[in-house]
């Protein structure tokens, strides 16, 4: 009888049988909780965080985001739709974060159960062919086999091995803390992910520039830039306020480190809540002030020349300090003064020099950061400032499109400038200092720090502790002769167990003479 190889009964199967829904879900779960996928997700999370560090983020600086999109009309809108300007709130970033979180948990829980059973269990008996194990040693002695095994068990327990005694053998195991450290590292990583997520959801931070003699109230409208987590309500910010009474700064004047900063101190008068008594607090670099769960860091400083501006009708449009932002280490600073209500509307672009110098190559610049010889160079403009178009503008930039330049002038303290065409006057009255503060509330910072320390401890345990086993077998050969065999096994690929076997052998040789 012949068999038709083309018939269905004779045809070989072309692949594994198809999975049902439950089998497919189990396969997906095994893949997700594998170490390989966890490492891939961790790498993807690191790569996905790069745009949040390189590109401006809408939660921290929406004006820079708008400028970046306007300057890149092709890629800007595409990247905005993909969430590259709000990375940590983007759905794809949250998906990677949650998958990594689930993967690590799914990897840790089964291994924890397995390790718990191993911790409560006993070392396995020696293999049948002990001479095939690493570090095998054998010798004969006149000591009875039971006495040899008792001596081996006593010595191993003294060396803090976990010992089990069986008929004709002793088994010992050590190094359980290696797996404990490994699991501790993964558990700390989970706690770190939770801490970071908690801080991202409930934390907030903002930056503000405060001039000497002026104050700040912790409300959203007072910040120059502010960003908060998804679950933060800006209306519930702590109601503290403070006033910058004095700001002191000193610079090195020796030739070796000319201009190097030596002192930054800000004297604040703090009120924890409306109606509460005030406290005097000094804030330094790396010495923040803590108030109502938030920390106030001193992050920068600069100058605010006091400019009195009068329009063509003689009305005072400004008589406060105008904040100028430093551009180099000698505090060559740029600033803008806008007077939209003046007649006509006026705008000024300024260059402030604490210690003024002028040459043909660099033009006006500062040669020292202290105000030894201050001067301000002003460029006056008249016309529409563009503030009525509804487009956000930076207070530190002047849009001169549609404006007419009136002239240029350099002023020293006490000097004034009559604007051409009778459009008003501007006088350089004096000088103020300003300090910039970063105010942050990060509730996940302390748990994240503790988790990182625990993860480091667990990693060190898993790297420097070796899991190994040692066996001792004693067999009576008659005529008062006992054959003793020792061997060991390293549970990991690296390392050598011979030293532990030699230590056991030497201890037994002393107690059981050959």
User: Residue 514: its pLDDT value, please?
Assistant: 66
Question: What's the half-sphere exposure (Cβ side, CA atoms, 13 Å) at 461?
Answer: 18
pLDDT along the chain (514 residues), means of 10: 47 59 82 82 88 79 76 87 85 87 84 85 88 88 90 91 92 89 88 87 89 92 84 89 92 82 89 91 90 90 94 91 91 92 91 91 89 94 80 79 90 93 93 92 90 92 88 87 90 76 88 72
User: Residue 109: its pLDDT value, please?
Assistant: 85
Stretch (H or E) spanning 288: none
Question: Taking a C-beta distance cutoff of 8 angstroms, is the pair 307, 428 a contact?
Answer: yes
Helices 91-120 and 21-32: crossing angle in degrees, nearest 10, is 90
What DSSP designation does 388 have? G
C-alpha distances out from residue 246 to 206, 282, 300, 373, Å? 22, 10, 14, 21
Distance CA 30, CA 107 (A): 9
Phi, psi (deg, nearest 5) at residue 317: -95, -25
Distance CA 89, CA 507 (A): 63
The secondary structure of 111-171, three-state, reads HHHHHHHHHHCCCCCCCCCHHHCCCCEEEEECCCHHHHHHHHHHHHHHCCCEEEEECCEEE
Distance CA 335, CA 337 (A): 7
User: Residue 5: its pLDDT value, please?
Assistant: 45
Q: What residues contact 41, with CB distance under 8 A and at least 6 apart?
A: 96, 99, 100, 103
- The first and second tokens of residue 221, run together, are 């409208």
pTM higher than 0.75 for the full model? no
Q: Sign of the CA dihedral 298, 302, 307, 311?
A: negative
Question: What's the half-sphere exposure (Cβ side, CA atoms, 13 Å) at 21?
Answer: 0
Phi, psi (deg, nearest 5) at residue 28: -60, -40
Q: Is the bond into 223 cis (omega within 30 degrees of 0)?
A: no
* Helix-, strand-, coil-residue percentages of the chain, each rounded to 5: 35, 35, 35
Distance CA 111, CA 117 (A): 10
User: Residue 15: its pLDDT value, please?
Assistant: 53
User: Residue 233: its pLDDT value, please?
Assistant: 87
Distance CA 14, CA 121 (A): 45
CA-closest candidate to residue 467, choices 104, 181, 133, 184 = 181
User: Residue 286: its pLDDT value, please?
Assistant: 83
């Amino acid at each position: 009888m012949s068999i038709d190889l083309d018939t269905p009964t004779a045809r070989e199967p072309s692949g594994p049988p198809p999975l049902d829904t439950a089998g497919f879900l189990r396969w997906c779960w095994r893949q997700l909780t594998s170490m390989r996928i966890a490492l891939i997700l961790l790498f993807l999370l690191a790569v996905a965080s790069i745009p949040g560090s390189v590109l401006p983020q809408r939660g921290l600086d929406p004006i820079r985001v708008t400028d970046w999109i306007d300057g890149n009309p092709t890629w800007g809108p595409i990247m905005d739709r993909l969430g590259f300007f709000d990375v940590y709130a983007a759905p794809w970033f949250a998906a990677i974060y949650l998958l990594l979180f689930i993967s690590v948990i799914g990897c840790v829980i089964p291994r924890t159960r397995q390790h718990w059973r191993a911790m409560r269990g006993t070392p396995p008996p020696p293999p049948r062919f002990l001479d095939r194990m690493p570090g095998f040693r054998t010798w004969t002695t006149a000591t009875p086999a039971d006495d040899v095994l008792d001596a081996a068990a006593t010595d191993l327990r003294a060396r803090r091995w976990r010992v089990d005694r069986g008929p004709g053998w002793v088994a010992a195991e050590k190094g359980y803390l290696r797996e404990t450290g490994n699991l501790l590292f993964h558990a700390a990583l989970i706690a770190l992910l939770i801490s970071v997520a908690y801080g991202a959801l409930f934390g907030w931070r903002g930056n503000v520039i405060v001039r000497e003699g002026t104050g700040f109230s912790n409300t959203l409208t007072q910040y120059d830039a502010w960003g908060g987590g998804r679950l933060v309500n800006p209306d519930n910010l702590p109601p503290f306020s403070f006033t910058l009474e004095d700001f002191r700064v000193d610079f090195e004047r020796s030739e070796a480190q000319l201009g190097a900063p030596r002192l930054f101190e800000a004297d604040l008068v703090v009120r924890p809540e409306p109606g509460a008594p005030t406290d005097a607090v000094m804030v330094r670099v790396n010495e923040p002030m803590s108030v109502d769960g938030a920390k106030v860091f001193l992050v920068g400083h600069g100058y605010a020349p006091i400019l009195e501006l009068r329009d063509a009708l003689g009305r005072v449009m400004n008589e406060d300090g105008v904040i100028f932002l430093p551009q180099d280490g000698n505090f060559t600073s740029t600033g803008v003064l806008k007077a939209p209500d003046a007649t006509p509307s006026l705008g000024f672009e300024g260059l402030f020099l604490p210690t003024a110098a002028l040459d043909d190559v660099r033009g006006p610049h500062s040669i020292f950061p202290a105000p030894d010889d201050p001067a301000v160079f002003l460029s006056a403009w008249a016309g529409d400032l563009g503030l009525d178009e509804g487009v956000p503008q930076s207070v530190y930039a002047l849009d001169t499109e549609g404006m007419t330049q009136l002239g240029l002038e350099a002023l020293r303290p006490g000097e004034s400038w009559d604007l051409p065409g009778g459009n008003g006057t501007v006088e350089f009255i004096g000088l103020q200092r300003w300090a910039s503060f970063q105010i942050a509330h990060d509730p996940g910072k302390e748990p994240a720090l503790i988790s990182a320390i625990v993860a480091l401890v667990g990693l060190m345990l898993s790297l420097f502790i070796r899991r190994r086993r040692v066996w001792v077998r004693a067999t009576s050969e008659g005529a008062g002769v006992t054959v003793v065999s020792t061997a060991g096994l390293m549970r990991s690929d690296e390392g050598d167990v011979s030293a532990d076997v030699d230590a056991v052998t030497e201890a037994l040789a002393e107690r059981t003479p050959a």
